[in-house]
Chains A and B, each alone.
Chain A
């Protein structure tokens, strides 16, 4: 059974640009959540999607957005990148039945220069 796949693994972008990160969940999982990990703030919840609908959202500015497709794959987008957006972005998938036994991908390391 394949795990959670995130692409790309590494990304370097310039301030002001936008970026799209992709996440393919474990087969059969319908919930996908995104987290930002930084040394200063730790792991922070961005948003959760279930059956193509955003079910929960963290405290991030509107520059951060996401979506989920009918095959449960998810993308997150960050527009007008800032230096502070440099982080490891982690995607987690779970069945979506209310018990968050989440499995994480390897993450995408975003560096904004």
Chain B
């Protein structure tokens, strides 16, 4: 079984400041890792994913996350945030092999202030 812990439920930051959203996971098997973003009254959008290979993965809008197997972490970072990044971010894990069930963390609400 897998589980995900997102350590911060809310993160307020100022525009153009850097941000890190923390995610730790637990699993007895190898995993795939994901970050999803949800805007109000919307579904989830895939932000980035770690499947294999390079431990540093990047999205097209400036976010990056690093898979750290020894610390079982997959923290999300952005060097300079924009007002439009205000949203809720979910970290998710799936065990490799068979089912494509995703286990989600509780989410981190990122608020970018001017």
Contact = CB atoms under 8 A, between A and B. Distances in A.
Interface of A: 4, 6, 31, 33, 35, 42-43, 45, 48, 50, 55-56, 58, 90, 92, 94, 96, 98-107, 109
Interface stretch (B21-29, B40-48, B63-71): B40-48
Nearest to B45: A104
A98 B102 contact: no
A42 B104 CA distance: 8
Interface string B45-58: 11001010000000
Interface residue range, chain B: 20 to 34
Contacts, number: 65
Interface in B32-46: 32, 34, 36, 41-46
B106 interface: yes
Given A42-B107, A43-B90, A98 B43 contact: no
B111 interface: no
B102 A100 contact: yes
B101 A43 contact: no
B114 interface: no
Contacts of B46: 101-103
A42 B100 contact: no
